[in-house]
Amino acid sequence: MAQKRIGSGAEAVIFLEQGKDEPRIIKDRMPKTYRHPLLDAELRRTRTRREANILKKLDTLHVPGPKLLGTDRESVIEMGFIDGTPLKRLLDDEPEWAGAVGEGLARLHDAGIIHGDLTTSNMLVKDGTLFFIDFGLSNVSHGAEEKAVDIHLFRQALESKHHAVSDKASRAFVKGYRKSKHAQNVLDRLEVVERRGRNKGKY
């Protein structure tokens, strides 16, 4: 089967594999030579297992995302390929998509799933549906602080990459996120997180 490298990041290298069946994504957490080998192996194993477990839960949460096809539980995850358009290419013309981001994140947060890297590059739109991708930095927590930081990262992405529509998109996001049963508590905490960030910039 032919593999084509289509991306890489701090965590892993991403390949698109074309075979007899549907194309699939292969995500491989490569060893990091700057870490102690035993620590490196444990980190890659732990993060791979965590990501695989979260991908398994997406369907039951009604959150569109990559379908888990398999994992070696050590460093490799195989996922279904989503042939969609990155949200970052659409949001400036259609800021209302941020409402779907809010709704999806509300479901994730209510299940205790923190995405960890919530940017418009990590969402795809296909056939009118928003898909969340790249759960490589995700973790599990029911804390308002962690959820607020998740939202803060998204709002930072809006301001830096989609400044012209950031206010409209942020309002649409909050409207969608209010479907979370813990929305007000998290949004109150978000004010604290953002205030802390502004104060840090003064020194």
pLDDT band, residue 11 (cuts 50/70/90): confident
Mean pLDDT, rounded, for 12-34:
92
123 and 66 in one domain?
no
Average pLDDT of the residues in 146-170: 97
Closest CA to 162 of 88, 108, 55: 88
Average pLDDT, the chain: 94
pLDDT, mean of residues 142-163 = 97
Distance CA 60, CA 52 (A): 14
The amino acid present at 122, given as its one-letter code, is: N
- Greatest Cα-to-Cα distance within the chain, rounded to the nearest angstrom: 58
Same domain for 117 and 28? no
3-state secondary structure (DSSP) of residue 178: coil
Q: Cβ-count burial of 16 within 10 angstroms (0-12 exposed, 13-18 middle, 19+ buried)?
A: middle
Task: Write down the catalytic residue from 21, 28, 40, 117.
Answer: 117
- Same domain for 159 and 140, yes or no, is yes
The whole model's pTM is what?
0.92
Domain count of the chain? 2
- Residue 3: its pLDDT value, please? 87
pLDDT at residue number 21: 80
> Quick check: 128 pLDDT over 70?
yes
Residue 96, domain extent: 85-200
Q: Are residues 115 and 169 in the same domain?
A: yes
In a shared domain, residues 130 and 160: yes
Question: Any idea what the CATH number is for the domain that residue 166 is in?
Answer: 1.10.510.10
Cα–Cα distance between 71 and 111 in angstroms, integer? 23
User: What does the alpha-carbon distance between residue 68 and residue 125 come to, in Å, rounded to a whole number?
Assistant: 19
150 is catalytic: no
